[in-house]
Amino acid sequence: MHGLFRLDGKVAIVTGAARGIGAETVRVFRDAGATVVAWDVAGPADATIDVTDPAAVVSAVAAAIAAHGRIDILVNNAGIVRDALLVKVKDGVVVGQMSEAELDAVLRVNLKGVFNCTQAVAAHMIGRGSGRILNASSVVGIYGNFGQTNYVATKAAVIGMTKVWSRELGPKGVTVNAVAPGFIATEMVREMPERILAAMVEHTPVRRMGEPRDVALAYLYLASDEAAFVNGIVLSVDGGLVLGT
């Protein structure tokens, strides 16, 4: 089948593929003709991979290449949240704060995980002289967000890494871009209180939450041959969301 934004003959790895944006990206890529290897730390996925474990990632990349002969696309979608205030003060007394465990867990998955997967795939893509690496940032990585020091730090860092890798890998035929979703109706988001959901929609000019498909289609464009001259960008998919305080 011919047409724009096709991925026929391409092999893609999608991390965090068991649900939400990752699962929808797997569906969209397969519909576009790609062979997709879905990774997640829990099922259902083609491979159970902990992206925080460099050795496991290297092995999984080797297995994907052995099975399919190549990797054309990597979507670094896996991510977690562990929200807490930096410090919570009541009547002049610190009554709570973000724990070291909450900080480290998010840094390991959202930052080190992206690093591990990209490093493991990049050498193969350089050897082939082509590839697409797509990283999940977030609207909050650009604007910040209350109670998300750890998450925002990682999503801002992903933008920085994207810009470095676009320079390092671009000359080798590999483009690297980030997508910054806004308020997307995933399982993770739906667990938020109703009043928070309503407030976020109110701050979104198109007056709705995004759907996982909105983000998956952005990944599809950036993964396609049509995006060959797009490198080092952060594509916001947020309905024009303006985050307040």
> How much is the mean pLDDT over the chain?
95
The residues facing 12 across adjacent strands are 36, 73
Q: In the CATH scheme, what is the homologous superfamily, with its name and number, of domain 11-237? A: NAD(P)-binding Rossmann-like Domain (3.40.50.720)
Token look-up 């797997």 returns 26
Give me the pLDDT at residue 191, please: 81
As to burial, measured by CB atoms within 10 angstroms (0-12 exposed, 13-18 middle, 19+ buried), residue 196 is exposed
Given a cut of 70, the residues of the chain with pLDDT beneath it are 1-2, 244-245
Domain residue ranges of the chain, discontinuous segments joined by +: 11-237
- Measured CA to CA, the distance from residue 76 to residue 235 in angstroms comes to 15
Structure confidence at residue 245 (pLDDT): 47
Q: Quick one: pLDDT at residue 151?
A: 97
Could you give the residue numbers annotated as active site? Answer: 151
Residue with tokens 């052995």: 66
- What's the rounded Cα separation, in Å, for the pair 147 and 144? 9
What is the model's pLDDT at position 244?
Answer: 61
According to the model, what pLDDT value does residue 219 have? 98
Do 174 and 135 touch, CB atoms closer than 8 A? no
Block residue for tokens 């973000």: 98
According to DSSP, residue 16 is labeled S
pLDDT of residue 33: 98
Condensed to tens digits (0 to 9), the pLDDT of residues 141-161 reads 999 988 999 999 999 999 999
What confidence score (pLDDT) does residue 199 get?
87
User: Tens of pLDDT along 179-200?
Assistant: 999 999 988 787 888 888 888 8
